[in-house]
Amino acid sequence: MAIEIKDFRGQSVIADLEQAVGQYTLYQLLLSRIEPERELYLAITDTIYNNIFNEPIGQLVITEMPLKLIIINLQTVEVIQWIPARPIEK
């Protein structure tokens, strides 16, 4: 397993989302070539998940990309949710 941890602290939530998704996609491409058995997850806080990924643009990213998420609560320092990639509908 590989985990990309992202903290959205930029001036633009959309720019942060774009960077996180782009980085995740690049890492996924690289891992598929060098270690195809490893699974990649994007780790984000529960606050980021609730504020961005519950919004229409975040839901679009989750439903249209094979994105695997780990949701972390920073106060308790624990994983509160694992979200597997949803199959891409054609």
pTM of the entire structure? 0.82
CB 47 within 8 A of CB 81: no
* pLDDT tens column, 59-72: 898 888 888 999 99
- Rounded distance between C-alpha atoms, residue 80 and residue 3, angstroms: 15
**What percent of the chain clears pLDDT 70, i.e. is strictly above it?**
93
* pLDDT tens column, 2-18: 777 677 877 888 899 99
Q: Nearest to residue 3, comparing CAs of 54, 68, 52?
A: 68
